[in-house]
Structure 1
Amino acid sequence: MDMKPLSVKNLTAITTGELVQGSDEVLIQYGAYRLKQVKKPNTALFTNKRIVNWKTLEPLVPLVIVTNRSYSQDEIPRHVIIIKVMNTDEAYWKFVHFYRSQFDIPIIAITGTSGKTTTKEMIKHILSAGKKVTATTLSSNSRTASLQYLLRIDDETEAAVFETAVGSPGDVTNAGKYFKPTIGIITNIGAHHLNYCKTLEGYIQAKGEMVDIIDPTGSLILNAEDVNTQKIDFSKFQGRIIKIGKDASCDFRASNIRYGQNGMHFTVHHNWLAYEIFVPGFGEHQVYNALAALAAVSDLGVPIPVAARHLYTFRQLNKQLQKFEGINHSILLDDTWSITTTSLEAALNVLNSLGEGKKKIAVIGTITDLGSWGYIIHEQAGELIYRIGVDVLITIGEHARIMADQAVRLGFRAPVYAFKNTTLVYDLLHDIVDENTILLIKGDMYSKQISKLATELKVKSSFRSE
């Protein structure tokens, strides 16, 4: 997707620069912050580094370089345009702010430990029925990725939805500088990615940056029942706070939550009216994702019955508690997209609800990306397993064993198997799984072993939705 084009003349004025070489009528269609991002002609590159190898750039002319460096006339190829500025960083942000200011559209920003991608996809699915929506998969949170996502917005875009990365303090603020969102959503705050935030307080604060980046006339959508979200100081937020949850005080309240054939049925109460909703995908957490999506689109004027109709056709995301027929006529829940204690708790609750009267087996891999927090987080996972309970526990990986040990230490009585890798797991399962078994396999996309095991345990394609 190209950005809304901008002439060199305009860019020179926006950055308060001086055109040193080249035509001011050339149109810019791409932006870049690093040389390796320049992939096509008509790109504006903001760099304070000296370019030495001009030869490699020849296929990419016309190229516009915005820089604070001085070049002699003879070293620059003829079709390279140079805009000289006092400070390259300042010029870059002037360009970013100018670009964003051209569009008066709703921009929704989503952060949280889990549910971000699902909520984003639900919102995109509902809005796309009637609008041209730009959405991001902001799994990379560098300023370069944010720039590319911002430049996808053009004159035809009617709404944009993006998730902000949550790695470290400043990520949400940085994304906010680009997108200046009008609606913010915090799905929940669990203890994930602590590696970068040092403490849970730091992590909560990093999510709380959402308060500062939302337009003062905008809205902030919060999970009213999330304990850590309640620790954020919202006193300086001037916009509307919209609460979702099961409590009577919620603006979008869910009641009568129940499991269906391939998803959740519930009633949503809003402004003294009640609506029946079905959302594909299992678990109470999926109801919260749907509530956040309904609150966001409702804020943009989509009537709840219309949103509900589109939500019904939402395609559940791959490897997120997807239901399959497993080996020996069992039911298999493939939840191998990502793993946090928040999503593990959700998965175990789904296993218990769907597995009433069945033998419930959980196969759980290591929680990655925790650094020095690994031990504590795996102990917390063990507590969850003990508290929620399963009939057979199988862990895979050195760290995952900590979960098993902790569960047993607390008094977990069911059979426990702790494996270093998946080599022996399939044969064990083949012996203990039957048609009265429901099997959860929980890991993340970085564990090739667990993904492979999940594939081996499937008999055929996913059960059909209702």
Structure 2
Amino acid sequence: MARITGGTLVRGEPERVLQSVNPGYWQSICHNQLFLVNRLVSWNKQMEALKNNPPAAIILPNELPLPPLPTRVAVIRVPRASSAVWRLALWNWKQMKVPVIGITGSTGKSTTTTMVDAILKQTHRVVRTHGNLNTFFYLPTYLLRLSPADDILLLEMGMSSLHNIARQCQVVRPHVGVVTNVGEAHVGSLGGLDQVVRAKQEMIDGVRPGGILFLNADCSRSQQLSTRHFQGTICKFGIDQPADIQGEELQYTKEGMRFYARVEGRRLPFRIPLFGEHNVSNALAAIGVVRSLGVPFPAIQRGLARMRPLHMRFQVIQGRQRRTLINDAWNASPSAMQEGLSVLKKIAGNQPAIAVLGDMHELGQYSRFAHTQIGKQAASLNLDGLITFGSQAKAIASAAIANGLDSRQVTHFTNRRALIRFLSQAPENAILYFKASRKLHFERIVQRLT
């Protein structure tokens, strides 16, 4: 370990065997691990965790003092902790020969990743992305987790800037690549929709020669992606437009969606415990991915039916007074909010449909237009209630009224407590849909109503 990380063993037995590497997660230290001190986390928290549960060894940057740990804990000194992590991750990656699946997209990449994982884990050992830790910065975490027993590396590839996906692909070179769609997410930070297209193009350019690429036939901006130089197989999934994996006869049920998929000359039924056509699109992408790995159709049907919905992604919760709360507040982009409102209206039926919408961030100059478009859609759906919160979301309320939604059905709030009091008086049996950017923490509002 000292040699691989470019460090010096200053204490400990050189022949001691280590069973795993902990890249700085102080909450989950094990006695047989090599723990890498994380410079981005509180030193005091790490010291307390190391004292309470000493690992087998630690990697310590030269500038930090040697902590008062038992002498049995080996110590490797390194010039830079970040370099040590990457050197060790790349060394481990070179020992592995596993297929890599890379999934990106403005919306749906987490859900698609979860669907693929739910199918594969029935018969494979999968190392996959967790939460929103999906940028180049976190890639070493997953490379370090790989062991000879693992079969597949499943990566959700997000990006905080241009070249982020490209840098991930330069390291792992996916065998299978997916672009779920190209939308407005991060348009503000990237500087325009053309830059979003450029960012997603990095996945196409990053798939290894001879690989397989899955693209959304229904997404107009995905048509701007260039496949001219792609050296592999291109497969399209879609519902409205002709595709290699075609979704048909979509049906809303109490448990989620039922649909047929026409794939490889066969027409097969599937069901998912999620609502919305956009989630059927995600499922079609997942079907294509796992079929490219040889997974039989019965296993795909079981995996999709049994998948567990992601936390705060159209999560259906029983609220007080027989109200249904839909927590879709993990994050928000215009296309995702539009999809959510359409689903709300479809599943509400005769029950009151109430949308609780907050600011959508990272839209830059596109922000005013995007919030106004959401207001127009709310008016066209004739929602029973539209509640908005936040300085930018006020444009949603104004646009809804301007486009014909009864002003008595629209309320804007700037105070969270007042908003919660108002929502607690919502009609019994109502369906309340919550959507906003992550920084607004709408999940706390949902918790107060359950």
Scaled to the shorter chain, the TM-score interval is: 0.7 to 0.9
Give the structure 2 partner of residue 211 of structure 1: 204
Task: In structure 2, list runs of 5 or more residues that go unmatched.
Answer: 25-35, 40-45
SS at match of 1:339: coil
1:355 matched to 2:344? The reply is no
Q: What is the aligned partner in structure 2 of residue 133 from structure 1?
A: 126
| Residue 62, structure 1, aligned to residue 74, structure 2 | yes
| Cα contact 1:172–1:209 (8 A) shared by 2 | yes
1:72 maps to none
For 2:288, the equivalent position in structure 1 comes to 295
Asked whether 1:456 is paired with 2:444, we answer no
Worse-superposed segment, 302-311 or 363-372? 363-372
- Aligned-pair distance for 1:248? 6.0
State the Cα RMSD in Å: 3.1
Written as runs of structure 1 = structure 2, the 5 A alignment for 1:442-453 is 442-448=435-441, 450-453=442-445
Give the AA of the match of 1:250. Answer: A
Distance 1:8 1:205, change over 3 A: same
2:63 matches 1:52: yes
Whether contact under 8 Å (1:31, 1:44) holds in the other structure is no
1:145 aligns with 2:145: no
Larger radius of gyration: 1
Equivalent position of 1:198 in the other structure: 191
Report the equivalent of 1:3: none
Identity of aligned residues (%): 28
Matches within 5 A, 1:387-426: 387-413=380-406, 415-426=409-420
Which one of the candidate residues 327, 331, 338 is aligned to 2:324? 331
SS at match of 1:269: strand
Instruction: Deviation per CA, 1:42-88: give whole Å up to 9, x if none.
Output: 5667x8xxx234434976963445659xxxxxxxxxxxxxxxxxxx9
Q: Greater shift after overlay, 56-65 or 214-223?
A: 56-65
CA-to-partner distance for each residue in 1:317-371, whole Å, 9 max, x for gaps? Answer: 2232233344443333222222221221111111111123333211112223445
1: distance between equivalents of 2:222 and 2:346?
A: 26
Q: Is the 8 A contact 1:132 1:159 kept in 2?
A: yes
Separation in structure 2 between the aligned mates of residue 375 and residue 313 of structure 1, nearest angstrom: 40
**Would the aligned equivalents of 2:107 and 2:185 in 1 still touch at CA under 8 Å?**
no
Conservation of the 8 A alpha-carbon contact between 1:243 and 1:252: yes
- Measure, in 2, the Cα distance between the counterparts of 1:143 and 1:248: 33
**Take 2:345 and 2:9, find their aligned partners in 1: how far apart are those partners?**
68
Q: Which residue of 2 aligns with 1:178?
A: 171
- Residue 275 of structure 1 aligns with which residue? 268
CA drift of 1:392 comes to 1.9
Deviation of 1:390 after TM superposition, in Å, equals: 1.7
Residue identity in the other structure for 2:200: K
Which secondary structure does the structure 2 equivalent of 1:188 belong to?
Answer: coil
248-257 or 92-101, which deviates more: 92-101
Equivalences for residues 368-387 of structure 1 within 5 A: 368-370=361-363, 373-387=366-380
Name 1:308's counterpart in structure 2.
Answer: 301
1:210 offset after TM fit, Å?
0.2
Asked if 2 retains the 8 angstrom alpha-carbon contact of 1:31 and 1:147, the reply is: no
Give the 3 Å change call, closer, same or farther, for CA 105–202 of structure 1 in structure 2. same
- 1:36 is aligned with what amino acid? N
- Tell me by how many angstroms 1:289 deviates: 1.5
Matched residue, 2:30 = none
Query: Shift in Å at residue 378 of structure 1?
Result: 2.1
Aligned counterparts of 1:92 and 1:294: Cα–Cα separation in 2? 35
Query: Secondary structure at the residue paired with 1:446?
Result: helix
Aligned 8 A contact 2:191 2:364 in 1: no
**2:182 pairs with 1:189:** yes
SS in 1 for 2:278: helix
Q: Which residue of 2 aligns with 1:78?
A: none
Q: Which amino acid aligns with 1:276?
A: P
**Take 1:401 and 1:351, find their aligned partners in 2: how far apart are those partners?**
20
Structure 1 letter corresponding to 2:415? N
Who is 1:239 aligned against? 232
Q: In 2 relative to 1, CA 426–44 (structure 1 residues): closer, same or farther, beyond 3 Å?
A: closer
Would the aligned equivalents of 1:42 and 1:64 in 2 still touch at CA under 8 Å?
yes
Residues 36/271 of structure 1: CA separation in 2 closer, same or farther (3 Å cut): closer
The match for 2:219 is 226
> Within 2, Cα distance between the matches of 1:156 and 1:137?
19
Alignment of 1:1-80 (within 5 A): 11=4, 30=21, 36=38, 42=57, 51-56=62-67, 62-65=74-77
* Counterparts of 2:176 and 2:23, CA distance in 1: 27
Take 1:66 and 1:177, find their aligned partners in 2: how far apart are those partners? 25
Gapped runs of 5+ residues in structure 1?
A: 1-6, 69-87, 459-466
Q: Distance in 2 between matches of 1:438 and 1:141?
A: 32
Distance 1:52 1:454, change over 3 A: closer
Change in 2 beyond 3 A, CA 1:395/1:95? same
SS of equivalent to 2:220: coil
Aligned length: 421
> Retained in 1: the 8 A contact 2:105–2:182?
yes
Q: Residue 36 of structure 1 aligns to a residue in which SS?
A: coil
**Displacement of 1:397:** 1.6
Q: 8 Å contact 2:88–2:144 — kept in the other structure?
A: no
| Equivalent residues of 2:424, 2:449 under 8 A apart | no
Letter in 1 for 2:144: L
The answer (yes or no) to whether the contact 1:244–1:251 under 8 Å persists in 2 is yes
Amino acid at match of 2:116: I
Separation of aligned partners in 1, 2:133 and 2:422: 38
Deviation at 1:25, TM superposition (A): 5.5
Residue 158 in structure 1 maps to residue 160 in structure 2: no
Q: How many Å apart are 1:24 and its aligned residue?
A: 7.3
- Are the structure 2 counterparts of residues 394 and 104 from structure 1 closer, same or farther at C-alpha, using a change threshold of 3 Å? same
Distance 1:156 1:397, change over 3 A: same
Equivalent AA in structure 1 for residue 444 of structure 2: K
